[in-house]
Each structure stands twice: as C-alpha cells, then as structure tokens.
Structure 1
Amino acid sequence: MMNRLKAALAASAVMLAPVFAAPALAETELIFNSYLPPHDELYQIAIRDFAAAIEKESAGGIKVTIPDTSLAPSDRQYEMVRDGIADMAIVSTGGVPQLVTLNKIGDLPFNSPSARAASIALWETYNTYFLPFDEFKGVKVLSTNVLPGRQILSVGKLQAKTVADLKGAKLWSPPGALSEAVKKLGAVPVNSEFTDLQEYVTKGTVDAMVMAPNSAKGARVLEYVTGMTQIPGGLGSLSFAVFISQERWDALSPEEQQAIQRAADGLPARTGAAADEVLAKLAPEMAKVPTENLEGAQLDEFTTLLQARIDEWKERAAKKGLSDPDEVLTFYRDVLAREAKASGS
C-alpha cells in the first residue's frame, strides 16, 4: 500500500513539475504594430528596442507583441489603434493631416539640422505648448521624432544651384509638406509609393528627389545621385509620433503606466541619434557627389520662397488656438540651438 502511495505521489510530482518550473506569464499583452521594414533604424529604436525596454521596465509584467506583418496600411495606423485592432503604433504626422497641425512644426523648412536635435525640439515643444490641444484624440503620445532634413538629390543633368534652375523640374517628394515646399520653389512634385521610386529614377521620370541620402540608400537609388543641393536644416522633414490607445492606457495599472513611461524616457533623442548615425556613415560615399551648399544670396533666395511654408503653418496654428505661433517657433529653434551647442556641431 505504502509503495503504491509513493508511486502515485511521484507520478503526480512529475506531472506538476512543468507547471511549477514554467516562468510566470506576463499579465498584460500589448500589440505594437509596425509597417516599417526591420532594417529601418526607426523600427529598430522606436519599436523593437522600445518594446524590449517596456518588458524590461515592467519586469516581464507586460509582454509587447510586434506582428510579423502590418495590421493596416501605413496611412491607417492611427485609425487602426483607435479601432482597437492594435494597442500601439507609430504614425507620420503627415499621415493624419485631418487631425494634426501643430506637430508639423517639425516638418517645416530649416527645422531639422540634425534628427536628434529636431526630435528633442519637437518633443519638448509638444509637451510645453501642444499637449493641451489634444490633437491626437483617443491616443496617448509616448514619443516624437523627426528625420534628418530633406535635401535635393539630383539624378540626372539637373544642377540646382539657384531657384531658377528648379523651375519646371520634376522632383520626387512625399505628399504633403515636402510637396508643398517643392511647389513654392517653382518645381513640380511627383508622388509615388516609396517602393516605386527606383523605377521613377531609372526611367528618367524625375530630375531629382527630395530626401536625405540615407533614405536614398534605403530605396536603392543612391548610386544614381549626380549631385546634391544642401539647405541648412533641410527643405523640410518628416515627423512621427509613437502612441498607445488612450482606452488601453487607462486600463493599465499605475505601475504598468510608469514602466512604459520609464521605457519612453529619452526615446526621441535615441531615435533621432540613430537616424543621424546612419546618415553619418554615408559621408565617405557622399563626399564623391558634387554638392552645392547654399549660403549667402543663394540661400536667401530659397529662404524667401520657403518662408511662405512657415507662414502657412503659423496661420493654421493660430486658427487651432495657439496664441503666439512665433513664440512657439522661437522655442523650437532655441532647443535646436541648445542641442547643437551641446553636441559641438
């Protein structure tokens, strides 16, 4: 009898062992969607590393799942989170034009001398001035970032040394702010999916592209670049926001919220610095490309025309209720100057 009892207990112990040996499961799962390719530095820092940091800061209490494929097109990330399909996502500010005006300060000409400085400037400006306007309705913004300033990369015979050189030229550019900047210079914006850019370049459909060299590298068109016209701070840029559903956020415990906020601390700077690093690695390759660094009278000509883009933003921001857009623009640029001084650039 005793032997049979011992055998039964031993069998029970074997059956229960995996249960007791298994690690504790995370209590909360967050679905963090991404439409970006894994090699993109924005994906690596603002999504992959951020997700890992959330799990670490929560001591495993939160599990962040990144789907293998995007749960919605790139221009539907905001709606996807609002509809509860995913909990978190990243969206281009230009992807929600019907909602967001104020954060587009990061997309303006001359406002991204470095991605790190611009990302910090946008985050501080958002929290100081824009947060009360709740433009990102239904979600909580956890981080913002700005890409390096977009430049004019010629892919043919075009030599854009003056505004007159650009008259009637066909410039590939993302729709929205950058296309509007192209129009101000008298050129013709050509829009397409990023994946179609190589075909547009190789077939001579465009004379130039509005982008940074690292983006051209990612699109596999950098080898076709024949010249670069460089504008201090860029012809404009692209800004992004990382966010979580407000409903999902409110359902988290205070400890879980604090863990996410700790993970997000410094994320704008890290994301921007990663973009700058990728761009810097291309410096030896870009040194072989004839470059026109606009300055003096040349730059003044471009500045005069592009000022209209800044004035348009100020007008729209005032209609949103921003009491002093000039004060906000000065604040943003003061942060840029502070960060440039801190980095020694």
Structure 2
Amino acid sequence: MLIMAISSPRIQPMHRHKVERHLGASISPLRRKHWLAKSGVLLVVIIPLVLSSTLFATELLINTFWPPAHLMRQEVFNRWISDVARVTEGRVTGRFPTSTLAPPSRQWHMVTSGIADVGIVFNGFERNRLHLSTVAELPFGTPSAEAASVALWRTYKRYFEKAEEYSGVKLLGLMTHSGGDLYSLRTAIQHVSDLEGLKIRTTDGSSSDAIETLGGVAVPSSGIGAYQLVSRGIVDGLIMPTGDMRTFNMLQYTDYAVTIPGKIYNGSFSLFMNLETWNSLSRTDQQAILSVSGETFAHHARAWDESDRLAIEEMEHRGIERSIASEPFLDELRARLAFIDDTWIREADRRGVNGRAALDYFRTEARRIATSLETLE
C-alpha cells in the first residue's frame, strides 16, 4: 500500500464532496487548486500500488446560461461532456452548477477569472473582442444551424485563427443557432414599411442594427429574457430562432411568422476553457478533448434544426399564419442591410484578415455543407 499526499485540482471523485463542504459546490478545479495551495491542506489517501486511471480524474465545472431543459444543455452539452469522458477514459468529466454562475453577458469574465472552467458565450456580447466569429451573424448566410456551424469552424481555421482573438482562453468550438425569422404578435409584416415604429425584440449585434435600419425599434434581450417582453406586450414582434419560439413558450402570443431565406440574422457562440485549467491537463487528454470538439462539436448544432421542425409543427397546429418573404420584400431587405456586410468586412480587414474572402468562403461553404447534409437525409 502507498500513502500519497495530493495538492492538485485533480481531486479523486470519491473525495470531492469532502472538499466541497469547505469550498462550495460551485467552485471550479482552478479555484480548488488555489484554495488548497493557500491553506496547505494535504489530502492523504491510501491506494493500491497499481493506480486506477480515474484516481486523478479532473471534473470540469461547465457553465451555460441556458436553462436545464434547453436543447443546448440536453442535446449539445450533455453530448459533448459524454464524448469528453469517453475519449479521456474517464480522466476528464464535467458537471453543471445548479444555476448559471453569471448572466449571459458575463460568461467570458466568469471563465477567465476562474469561477468556472468551461463556458459558452454569445459572441455579440463580446463583439469588440470577438469580431471575426460574428461573420455567421450577418444577414442571409444561414441555410441551417448545422451547416452554418461547421462552415464557421472551417472559416475560423482558415482565416481567423491567426488573428488570435481568443488569446487568454482555449477555444474549443464554435456554433450558431438556426437563425432568426420574423414573428409578429398582432400585425402582419409583408413589407419593410410594415416595420416602421414597431418594437422588435433583437439580440445585441447585427440584428439590432438591422431592425433600426429598417425603421423598427430594436429591443435587445437574451433568448431567455424574450418571453417577458412578449408575454407582457412590451414588444410588437421579434426576430428569433424558430425552435426557441416553442422552447420559450412564445407561440401562444404569436399571430404571424415570416420566414426569411438565409435568415435576417444569426447568433454565434464560442465554447472555451480557462487557460490555466487547460494547461493543467495532460497532453494526451488535451488531444482527446480536441478530437470531440471543433468541427465535431459544430455538428451538434443539428439539434437546433430539429427544434425548428418541431416548432413548425406546433405553429401549424396553432393556426399561426406562416409565409415566406416575397422577392420584392427580400430585395428591399438586401439593399437596406448591405451595409452590415461592408461594416464587418472593414473591421476584419483592420484586424489583418481578408474580410471579403472570409465572408465569401463562409457563405459558399455553408451552402455546400447544407446541400451535402440534405443528400444524406
């Protein structure tokens, strides 16, 4: 038998609950490491000479701002965490706190300050820092969530990685949702002029710019906060992923839905790890985690596409009037919103990236991937 003294973020799962009595259940391995170092605590355990591969398992504290029932928790993160545990043979696992450790707009700070090990941020909240990844948020570039997500990762690897926008963290993946269509609560919207003066829920970023340019009043909120705006009648309409209209129970207030081919905007997200936590992992485990992240993680966005299909079925059941934007409507939208592309390109160029080439590559690749995915169905 061997007596070992351990002072490390890699705490054996069977002893973790004892440490958390002092540290709190929502403290990350990084925080535990600092606490143990400062207090001089030694965890003394008696173990066999042949050590189990799970003895030094790292349990990552993974924060998301979506509620537990949301597809990002149920379909995307649970799948990724399961993949990580599988490819590391149980040496790296993950868990969620009982509730989000920071509001949606503070996810970057939460992870970089060590409150959580892994987080995901809506890039619009960090648009000054993460400008390049917002290429996926520009109008008319989303054939599907899965296609746009995979195309975004490939565009990042080809064009954006060298710009080092993710300096200070370890980027593990990029994802988009399925893009925003136009929903109205009382008034049908068939022309740009119909938006004049209407209060429309948007996100931060290009969707707010679009609505303001079209004559509407942008009311930015998170997806979670959109329900309060709709249920209280604060807004006249919203642009939102179709699936989230169902997920957040907003179809009951909706009378009209207008599908915008390519979508009027999209939301992009970055999955990232605290750099100190990442560096504490073995090279073997790092490579294993990367093998189920990146493009593999991007493919999990198909859950958004499936959610859209379920929402469309519910809209039909509720009798919501659905239409596809007419060509004259689309032509006017494209003309009025062209400046959003131009603005993005100029800033990308300023950051040392060929903005036009990157944007063209992203859109072409997204369409190509969407076609190949349709062939597989």
Q: So what's the TM-score if we normalise by structure 2? A: 0.81
Tell whether the 8 Å contact from 1:46 to 1:242 is kept in structure 2 after alignment.
no
> Which amino acid is 1:327 matched to?
A
Distance in 1 between the 2:370 and 2:63 partners? 33
Offset at residue 73 of structure 1 (A): 2.1
Range 30-39 or range 140-149, more displaced: 30-39
Q: Does 1:318 align with 2:349?
A: yes
What is the match of residue 131 of structure 1? 161
- CA shift in 2, pair 1:120/1:130, >3 Å: same
What is the match of residue 40 of structure 2? none
Q: Does 1:103 align with 2:133?
A: yes
Distance in 2 between the 1:221 and 1:298 partners? 25
- CA shift in 2, pair 1:24/1:165, >3 Å: closer
> Which amino acid is 2:363 matched to?
R
Distance in 2 between the 1:146 and 1:20 partners? 45
Tell whether the 8 Å contact from 1:152 to 1:211 is kept in structure 2 after alignment.
yes
Distance in 2 between the 1:340 and 1:63 partners? 32
For residues 126-165 of structure 1, give each alpha carbon's deviation from its aligned partner in whole angstroms, at most 9, with x where no partner exists: 1111011111221111111101110110111x22111111
Offset at residue 262 of structure 1 (A): 2.0
- CA shift in 2, pair 1:249/1:196, >3 Å: closer
- CA shift in 2, pair 1:169/1:82, >3 Å: same
Q: 1:51 aligns with which of 70, 77, 81?
A: 81
Distance in 2 between the 1:192 and 1:333 partners? 27
Offset at residue 313 of structure 1 (A): 0.8
Distance in 2 between the 1:251 and 1:36 partners? 27
Listed as ranges, the gaps of 5+ residues in structure 2 are 1-45
Distance in 2 between the 1:17 and 1:31 partners? 26
> Which amino acid is 2:266 matched to?
S
Structure with the greater relative contact order (CA < 8 A, sep ≥ 6): 1 or 2? 1
For residues 216-253 of structure 1, give each alpha carbon's deviation from its aligned partner in whole angstroms, at most 9, with x where no partner exists: 22222111111112211111011001111223222321
Distance in 2 between the 1:113 and 1:314 partners? 21
Q: 1:333 aligns with which of 359, 363, 369?
A: 363
Distance in 2 between the 1:318 and 1:21 partners? 53
Correspondence 1:89-100 to 2 at 5 A: 89-100=119-130
Distance in 1 between the 2:291 and 2:153 partners? 15
Tell whether the 8 Å contact from 1:93 to 1:238 is kept in structure 2 after alignment.
yes
What is the match of residue 226 of structure 1? 255
- CA shift in 2, pair 1:46/1:198, >3 Å: closer
What is the match of residue 117 of structure 2? 87
Q: 2:57 aligns with which of 16, 22, 27?
A: 27
Instruction: Report the number of matched residues.
Output: 328
> Which amino acid is 2:312 matched to?
A
Distance in 2 between the 1:270 and 1:44 partners? 15
Q: Does 1:264 align with 2:293?
A: yes
What is the match of residue 92 of structure 2? 62
What is the match of residue 3 of structure 1? none
Distance in 2 between the 1:196 and 1:282 partners? 19
Distance in 2 between the 1:253 and 1:225 partners? 51
For residues 11-47 of structure 1, give each alpha carbon's deviation from its aligned partner in whole angstroms, at most 9, with x where no partner exists: xxxxx99999999434323222222211111122332
- CA shift in 2, pair 1:228/1:246, >3 Å: same
> Which amino acid is 1:222 matched to?
L
What is the match of residue 103 of structure 2? 73
> Which amino acid is 1:98 matched to?
N
Correspondence 1:265-280 to 2 at 5 A: 266-280=295-309
> Which amino acid is 2:323 matched to?
E
What is the match of residue 304 of structure 1? 335
Distance in 2 between the 1:310 and 1:94 partners? 15
Distance in 2 between the 1:34 and 1:203 partners? 26
Listed as ranges, the gaps of 5+ residues in structure 1 are 1-15
Alignment RMSD, CA only? 2.3
SS at match of 1:90: strand
Q: Which has the larger radius of gyration?
A: 1
